[in-house]
Structure 1
């Protein structure tokens, strides 16, 4: 049977060589587009192969033989990633755009860590320091022992970050502070600290005392050459330290490795950061929000280095985080301790005690609840103070609510609302239904005395508490009451009502015998003693004679006298005898 005709490409070949006579070029699969692989058109690629290389440039490698049938051609070798950039994942294509995130962004905790490339790059320690099998086994045993020790010491502070090719140990180290640590605040952050509830006394000097700070985070990775040949890569991160301070801590850790090369140092690093890092950084300074370029210029142009992870926050936010952590730490210590009540002298657990937020004084709940109940029974509304006799801090409504019965707290709220309305200058009480009413807004240059009750729609004059009389002057009921006889007073009662006339008499008496508090306008009667007055409603301290705010030495430097003549009349003593210190001899 004759053989089938050969293809045109194989014409003229011997029949015995039909399989081997085909060239490798014809047997290889078609090559992919050269432009798609190297980014140049085929014509340019031919021109580059034809032209000789320039002087100083090594000649190109000879072409490799094509692979056998069924084997795809090898891809061109790719350059290794630059140092500091982690290798791409096997399931992801190489990122070519500069704006794309790094390849490890899919698995790294991006919401918590700012990423330090030295921890994620390939382990090159063994290539730099060749290891024998025995040395490699010794390193693994030392790493396992150190990891076990870290897990035992920092059980709650140690966390393992798992990467595709390795693991990273993360330690949250609570830095011990020298008592007390003074944090220097600029003027721009002092107002922010007051807004967070920090007492204003330390801020006057630009310093904020703290007992605890947020933890400092140390991330470390065990490489093959550690600890025999090379130190482990590490990174530091802390919200209240600048890049320059983090770099100084990293340099101190490097110095410890240089002092004892070949030994495990992660445990030593953690202990040094816990006990001695705060002393090395004192005094601590919190800076306001600045641009990274400005911060680098101030810190000696130290940018975010390989061991300093940037915390992308401003000074005010860092201050808020520091104050919040200090409060949480103090709250945790308070809940875990036993407390002695200064009133009943008994010891209670934290569940049976209350601590005032503004002054941090602690008492048992029964004592404080009874104290507040007695204060409310005496008429105190806004002056529920801390039971400490030297403290003038008022309790907050949530603190009062958890210490007194519900019915008493409802009464307290009503008294608090009443006191708040009394302090408002544009609120008056309706003489008909005793409901608070607002005065109508006044015109420019005039004062309005018209008030309208929102409950009963009664329009009245806020000065005389009578029905609205327009532009007519207010009837001087007090003067008419004093001048009238018994029949005239009875006529005034029938015309204006008993309640109105009682208010007129009360107003006249208060005008003659009381003075208004300069802060809350509460009427105060002085029944004896010195001229240093403390308002029971708002705790404002002021002078009875001049009405000025009382300060230490007010009666020595000003024109006001500490004791008026009524005091000496009350004790039946002359001023000369009092100044001669004869009080004890004559009366006691």
Structure 2
């Protein structure tokens, strides 16, 4: 390497390192080279869809609106003759561009080098990739990503398939054919034979057994007839490999430097969504926002964003608000502080704002409240246990898995077997209200406790109260004489015989009847 080339390479790497951040440009320590990651600026509301042509993928399509797409990655290495005579050695990879599109990009990078031969070229390449990729490939919204064959697509795979399959077709010529396929300059001539049928005879004479010359050459010249020709050129068990070899000329347009580095359609979708979310978070953290609680402007990295309503509040204000709610047990009230807003904070946001101790309490109370709303979960009635118990469908017996206590899920007392439950005598356990048919309005532990309290209240009222003979209001007598006055309608009546008494002289009833005034 000449001194001029070495200095030019070092100056270019230093200049790019000072211009671009480390996540966009990174040089290697072991060799004169590095990696460039280019994120494109997408139009607003850019829609992208992924469609898979492979029968092995159950997910057929995906569509979403994104603001960012995974970067285009340019890996490069400087040869000794760069920049005076030689172009940088590079590969171009991307998860959402097809190998054909990446091949066009590689050709464009080569053209840029030819136009600027003898000068440093990386900055011009980066500017092209960043500013002209969408226009050069005519990519517009909605953009459809074509994914084929569940794996990384490179020209190298085509070479390997061709060499293996041709060797399988003519085992006696395996060494010579595989060597021809492995050598790029020879493989290029092999592929050119398919494009130039008039030269294929000589190539086949050099690369294949004479008795198989005709079949191999015709298969390369006419891929559409590959199935029948492959059957003639090989044993039946080798038919599939021969067909792949015959189809290899179709891939000749793919540059070996073009790599779609994604293994499956699921990985592609995951990478798109994860990268879009991480980049949006990065942009959010760098902007200023006004908190509507303390009315202070703070960076996004010091704020919390509610996705459903787009409201933003500073972490300090939200932390105080959430800590008060959690200490009060209101774990379902960790919503956006904006009046009448129903957006709820995610557990990840809560964990970020409150300490570990409060988050453990929040997580425990949230689980408990969720279990209480489940219709098939009851709690062990023993105060020292309180373990959640799954209730069998249609059954009324619960067995605690912790203390082995068997209890009735209606009255929450010790299980009484076939004896009729007292709770069911005055209440239908499947109805919404006692003694009334209706939908299952009361759900889970809360609903069962509500119905149990209603049954206990009704039982107590029946045993300790009497109804007013005029308005049927329930009345309890706690002290005094047997002359009662209804608190609802004001009617006087006798507590013993429940007859209405005279409004002018109610006590005359106790003179002319068997009822006593005092009892």
Residue among 375, 399, 405 paired with 2:349: 399
In 1, are the aligned partners of 2:284 and 2:301 still within 8 Å (CA)? no
Paired with 1:186 and 1:416, the residues of 2 have a C-alpha distance of: 39
1:252 aligned to 2:108? yes
Indicate the residue corresponding to 1:438 in structure 2. Answer: 389
In 2, are the aligned partners of 1:289 and 1:316 still within 8 Å (CA)? no
Residue among 259, 276, 285 paired with 2:145: 285
In 2, are the aligned partners of 1:437 and 1:451 still within 8 Å (CA)? no
Paired with 1:510 and 1:395, the residues of 2 have a C-alpha distance of: 41
Shifted more, 335-344 versus 282-291: the winner is: 282-291
Indicate the residue corresponding to 2:400 in structure 1. Answer: 453
In 1, are the aligned partners of 2:150 and 2:263 still within 8 Å (CA)? no
Cα shift readout 1:200-224 (whole Å, capped 9, x = no counterpart):
xxx9x94222223333222344456
Query: For this pair of structures, how many residues does the alignment match?
Result: 348
In 2, are the aligned partners of 1:176 and 1:278 still within 8 Å (CA)? no
Paired with 2:439 and 2:329, the residues of 1 have a C-alpha distance of: 18
Paired with 2:438 and 2:321, the residues of 1 have a C-alpha distance of: 31
Indicate the residue corresponding to 1:219 in structure 2. Answer: 75
Quote the offset at 1:244 in angstroms. Answer: 1.4
Indicate the residue corresponding to 1:343 in structure 2. Answer: 293
Residue among 422, 430, 442 paired with 1:475: 422
Residue among 35, 43, 56 paired with 1:178: 43
CA change 1:181–1:406 in 2 (3 A) is: closer
Quote the offset at 1:145 in angstroms. Answer: 5.2
Alignment of 1:275-354 (within 5 A): 275-281=131-137, 282=139, 283=143, 285=145, 287=147, 290=150, 301=251, 305-309=255-259, 311=261, 313-350=263-300, 352-354=302-304
Paired with 2:326 and 2:28, the residues of 1 have a C-alpha distance of: 57
Partner of 1:334, secondary structure, is helix
1:382 aligned to 2:332? yes
Partner of 1:516, secondary structure, is coil
Indicate the residue corresponding to 1:268 in structure 2. Answer: 124
Paired with 1:231 and 1:276, the residues of 2 have a C-alpha distance of: 21
Paired with 1:472 and 1:272, the residues of 2 have a C-alpha distance of: 84
Indicate the residue corresponding to 1:152 in structure 2. Answer: 18
Paired with 1:253 and 1:237, the residues of 2 have a C-alpha distance of: 13
In 2, are the aligned partners of 1:439 and 1:462 still within 8 Å (CA)? no
Residue among 60, 64, 67 paired with 1:208: 64
Indicate the residue corresponding to 2:409 in structure 1. Answer: 462
CA change 1:188–1:469 in 2 (3 A) is: farther
Paired with 2:41 and 2:249, the residues of 1 have a C-alpha distance of: 25
The RMSD of aligned alpha carbons is 4.8
CA change 1:455–1:154 in 2 (3 A) is: closer
Paired with 1:289 and 1:391, the residues of 2 have a C-alpha distance of: 47
CA change 1:406–1:212 in 2 (3 A) is: closer
Higher relative contact order (CA closer than 8 Å, sequence separation 6+): 2
In 2, are the aligned partners of 1:185 and 1:208 still within 8 Å (CA)? no
TM-score where L is the length of structure 2: 0.53
Paired with 2:45 and 2:78, the residues of 1 have a C-alpha distance of: 36
Quote the offset at 1:401 in angstroms. Answer: 4.3
CA change 1:168–1:439 in 2 (3 A) is: closer
Paired with 2:326 and 2:262, the residues of 1 have a C-alpha distance of: 50
Indicate the residue corresponding to 1:561 in structure 2. Answer: none
CA change 1:299–1:510 in 2 (3 A) is: farther
Gaps of 5+ in 1: 1-122, 124-135, 195-202, 481-502, 525-588
Quote the offset at 1:272 in angstroms. Answer: 0.7
Cα shift readout 1:367-418 (whole Å, capped 9, x = no counterpart):
3234435655776433522335576443233433454577765654453233
Indicate the residue corresponding to 2:90 in structure 1. Answer: 234
Paired with 2:73 and 2:133, the residues of 1 have a C-alpha distance of: 13
Cα shift readout 1:45-87 (whole Å, capped 9, x = no counterpart):
xxxxxxxxxxxxxxxxxxxxxxxxxxxxxxxxxxxxxxxxxxx
Alignment of 1:545-584 (within 5 A): none
Larger radius of gyration: 1
Alignment of 1:349-428 (within 5 A): 349-350=299-300, 352-356=302-306, 361-372=311-322, 375=325, 380-388=330-338, 392-404=342-354, 412-428=362-378
Quote the offset at 1:421 in angstroms. Answer: 1.9
Paired with 1:387 and 1:289, the residues of 2 have a C-alpha distance of: 49
Gaps of 5+ in 2: 159-246, 449-519
CA change 1:232–1:288 in 2 (3 A) is: closer
In 1, are the aligned partners of 2:50 and 2:144 still within 8 Å (CA)? no
